[in-house]
Chains A and B, each alone.
Chain A
Amino acid sequence: MNLTLRIWRQKNANTPGEFVTYEAKDVSPDMSFLEMLDVVNEELMRRGEEPIAFDNDCREGICGMCSLMINGVPHGPLPQTATCQLHMRVYKDGDAITIEPWRAAPFPVIKDLIVDRSAFDRIIQSGGYVSVSTGGAPDGNTLPIPKDDADRAFDAAACIGCGACVAACKNASAVLFTSAKISHLALMPQGKVEQDRRVLKMVAQMDEEGFGACTNIGSCEAACPKGITLDNIARMNRLYLKASVKSGLE
């Protein structure tokens, strides 16, 4: 099939970007979306032009490095599918596809479709862990954890940190990402010890990075390639309120 691509090109953070139109010819339905871009890039390079820069690594939907706003939808049209797992058979001959980077002030564009997501790392740095150093941990089975709790903790921990939730949100809020980590740890006894500190610090860091507030629209959940659910946000808000009252901050 032949496709028309409108792709965001931007030299660097300090230069304004623009859409450039490319024709993708003889696209096989078996290609992944990123393989389709590889082919476009190969053609550009054969002509001596610079390839379109986009983040990617594992190409099996787990590393969270790939992104892309595809026709206005993070990771494209399939539910719970990262861009690297999206295959071209969902498109048909003659389709026009608009491809943009994540758009959010805390995710500045580095080049073309690549954005800087280091704000997510800083949110984790502010408290997204259990403060145990290596060595001296008790035997793994000294701490029984109900299976349902472990399963729910896993559901929250499955977040791949891709940033689709932020890109989908009209407020560019990072609450789905932040609450997923807070929930993962709060649902397990290991994480309970630092629960209050953690939620206060991570929410403060999230605000400091410039992410917007949550207005309960739910577009983050719809965009999430790993099915992280809104109840994590509810849990975070509850924990935040409790911790705030306890600490007498508000």
Chain B
Amino acid sequence: MSIKLNSKIPAGPLDDKWTRYRQEMKLVNPANKRKFDVIVVGTGLAGASAAATFGELGYNVKAFCFQDSPRRAHSIAAQGGINAAKNYRNDGDSVYRLFYDTIKGGDFRSREANVYRLAEVSVHIIDQCVAQGVPFAREYGGLLDNRSFGGAQVSRTFYARGQTGQQLLLGAYQALERQIHLGSVKMYPRTEMLDIVLIDGQAKGIIARDLVTGKIEAHSANAVVLATGGYGNVFFLSTNAKGCNVTATYRAFKKGALFANPCYTQIHPTCIPVSGDHQSKLTLMSESLRNDGRVWVPKKLGDNRHPGQIPDDARDYYLERKYPSYGNLAPRDIASRAAKQVCDEGRGVGPGGRGVYLDFSDAINRFGKHKIEERYGNLFEMYERITGENAYEQPMRIYPAVHYTMGGLWVDYELMSNIPGLFVIGEANFSDHGANRLGASALMQGLADGYFVLPQTIAGYFAGQKNGRYPNDHPEFRKAEEEARSRINKLLSIKGKRTVADFHRELGKLMWDDVGMARTEASLKQALKRIPEIRHEFWENVNVPGSASELNTALEYAGRVADFLEFAQLLAYDALEREESCGGHFREEYQTEDGEALRNDEKFSYVAAWEFKGVDQFPELTKEPLVYEEVRMTQRSYK
């Protein structure tokens, strides 16, 4: 029986929906808020801002993170900035324009009403963060500075040097610490959610493991919020932090929450290439480098000369050749695929041949070294720290890497999944970016969800709730606790020959080769055959040393990789089913003559929401049609 999805989009004109929703929504009496317990899992931008705001409103909050402090979450690594439709530049920006850019950037695969609300709320985020003391960049007149980002035609990006994510996260972290001090939030650091608990079909708590003592505990609440980020680490190598994982959202999926659009994965073209088998993660370098760098590879196969000794006529500036009008500034997905293509031909550079040159010598000759240093000094320094090479003297080597995942748990307009009482915010949900996210929009969505959207919409759920909170020794909690415990014991008892990282690396390579930047029916089918084989071997031959009753990093990692080994299949199913190319999903069979993504709006203008039917069983697809009332769908062109 297929699930009937209700996106709960309010009626009325697009620009009035959110206002009207708030006018009509049910509220919880201030004296009653204390009676509601909310669990927030994950304390990045979305989770920390939501937990703090719930606390301010008067709810009882329990917040969980696996790191040693909420200040560590990977939102902290975001460099570029945060978009907001303030129109401080007087350059024609508006809520509508930010909305339209986001819908178009998402390749027309996101919900109009959600995206419009995001653009509307964006302006309040900046005000809130300024009030918190976030040190945004300023002009000499003392007002907030803006820059244009990711090819936008207006300057709407607010920033704090190259560390905007850090400063916004610290703002949310401080707001959260204030609530902890006031007693409205209880924080559980170094604690990992292992499962979600449903009673009568509603989310009523979680099972979590104290990573220091190993103790498994049930936590009961009136609602559960997942703010656990994306699943980029299914590819093993990505720009995500080492700890980022899919466990929380995948566990919810196994309990009946629908997973939407898992195939939408964003690949970033300017990352530092892999240097060897020891590689543990990839480092992103700001895309702005492509403003002054020229991308090239040798024309001839096997031309192993030092780049400085390869004359200009033996170089293939392939982006300039293929996309004369956009050249080196071609969009992320196009630049990424083009790099893969030349490396597949065997013309890649550097160790392993998976890299292309990003050459600044022309820019240095034109503007002088000091100008380039002024623009990108910190990036050149970071590059040298990691590679040991001086990019003023020889070209940088870059290669694309997985960066962000647009898919996530399906949520309605209120950010609630199809499981009553289970809310999902930030990168963990699917809602706002469609098939592709624009630069400086991840921070915006995380904080919009956490500060302004969910704290309002959750009241409607509480106001209508009949059953309250259950004691945490309810049989459903006991059962879930037992399941979590036996899974851990199983992982520890296998005592095989291969390490967890060994399996993760194998899975990641398969995913990158067959389900990565360019997918085909054949590659996806091959991946779908191989993934279960790797998983079966994992459960027979993994070696997890140590015990369950202590800090055990190998055990934590094993649990996460075990979930990636199931989730990978879901991602591949979705990619196989979506017989079109759009945004972060490229199927080689579906491209224009120029190699551009070819959407099929007639057949695939829907959200693909998948329901778990058992491990190795094909999940069941429910389609949420995407209806565009306000915008007209167009095809991108960058020729």
Contact = CB atoms under 8 A, between A and B. Distances in A.
Asked whether A and B interact, the reply is: yes
Interface of A: 11-12, 28-32, 34-36, 38-39, 42, 45-46, 48-51, 53, 55-60, 62-65, 78, 81, 85, 87, 89, 110-111, 114, 116-118, 120-121, 124-126, 128-135, 137-141, 143-147, 150-151, 153-154, 157-158, 160-161, 184-185, 188, 190-191
Interface in B148-181: 160-161, 163, 166-167, 170, 173-175, 177-178, 180-181
A17 B166 CA distance: 35
Contact of B71 (A49, A64, A185): A64
Nearest to A42: B499
B387 interface: yes
Contact of B545 (A48, A128, A153): A48
Contact of B388 (A30, A45, A150): A30
Contacts of B502: 42
A178 to B, nearest CB: 14
B53 interface: yes
B365 to A, nearest CB: 29
Given A145-B138, A145-B142, A30 B275 contact: yes
Interface in B518-572: 543, 545-546, 550-554
Given A35-B279, A57-B241, A51 B177 contact: no
Contact of B283 (A46, A51, A60, A139): A60
A53 B545 contact: no
Contacts of A12: 550-551
A111 B551 contact: yes
Given A46-B497, A51-B545, A153-B133, 16 more contacts: A31-B275, A31-B278, A45-B545, A46-B499, A50-B545, A58-B74, A58-B241, A59-B281, A65-B72, A85-B386, A125-B178, A128-B177, A141-B88, A141-B144, A145-B138, A154-B135
A117 to B, nearest CB: 6
A45 B52 contact: no
Nearest to A27: B278
B72 A57 contact: yes
Nearest to B387: A30
B496 to A, nearest CB: 10
A137 B495 CA distance: 56
A147 B69 contact: no
Main secondary structure of the interface of A (DSSP, over half): loop
A35 B167 contact: no
- Of B130, B499, B550, B551, most buried by chain A (CB within 10 Å of CB) is B130
Contacts of B388: 29-30, 87, 89
B141 interface: yes
B551 A110 contact: yes
Contact of B68 (A85, A118, A188): A118
Given A124-B177, A134-B52, A53 B144 contact: no
26 contacts: A38-B501, A51-B553, A55-B68, A56-B242, A58-B76, A81-B385, A85-B382, A87-B388, A117-B68, A121-B187, A129-B132, A130-B174, A131-B178, A132-B132, A134-B128, A140-B129, A141-B88, A144-B138, A146-B142, A150-B135, A150-B136, A150-B137, A151-B135, A153-B135, A158-B166, A184-B133
B56 interface: yes
A30 B388 CA distance: 8
Contacts of A11: 550
Contacts of B170: 157
B455 interface: yes
A207 B588 CA distance: 62
Contact of A129 (B142, B175, B189, B283): B175
A3 to B, nearest CB: 14
Interface residues of B, number: 84
Contact of B56 (A34, A134, A139): A134
A120 B173 CA distance: 12
A17 B74 CA distance: 32
Top 5 A-B residue pairs of the complex, sorted by shortest distance between their CB atoms? A144-B142, A129-B174, A137-B131, A30-B275, A154-B135
B176 to A, nearest CB: 9
Contact of A133 (B56, B72, B283): B56
Interface of B: 49, 52-53, 56, 67-74, 76-77, 86, 88, 124, 126-133, 135-144, 160-161, 163, 166-167, 170, 173-175, 177-178, 180-181, 187, 189, 212, 241-243, 275-276, 278-281, 283-284, 351, 382, 385-388, 451-452, 455, 495, 497, 499, 501-502, 543, 545-546, 550-554
Contacts of A184: 133, 135
Nearest to B276: A28
A190 B72 contact: no
Contacts of A139: 127
A158 to B, nearest CB: 7
Nearest to B546: A50
A20 to B, nearest CB: 15
A55 B382 CA distance: 22
Nearest to A36: B278
Nearest to A152: B135
Contacts of B73: 63
A38 B455 CA distance: 41
A50 B554 contact: yes
B278 A140 contact: no
Contacts of B281: 59-60
Contacts of B129: 140
B557 to A, nearest CB: 9
A38 B280 contact: yes
B258 to A, nearest CB: 29
Contacts of A126: 181
Contacts of A58: 72, 74, 76-77, 241-242
Given A55-B68, A118-B189, A143 B77 contact: no
Given A134-B53, A141-B144, A154-B135, A116 B68 contact: yes
Contacts of B160: 154, 157
B130 A57 contact: no
A106 B58 CA distance: 32
Given A59-B241, A110-B551, A147-B139, A130 B69 contact: no
B501 to A, nearest CB: 6
A141 B131 CA distance: 11
Nearest to B56: A133
B167 A49 contact: no
B627 to A, nearest CB: 31
B167 A157 contact: yes
Contacts of B53: 133-134
A15 to B, nearest CB: 11
Nearest to B240: A58
B498 to A, nearest CB: 8
A49 B552 CA distance: 12
A112 to B, nearest CB: 9
B543 A42 contact: no
B177 A30 contact: no
Contacts of B142: 144-147
B548 to A, nearest CB: 13
A39 B241 CA distance: 18
Contacts of B131: 130, 132, 137-138, 190
A53 B545 CA distance: 12
B278 A39 contact: yes
Contact of B554 (A51, A59, A157): A51
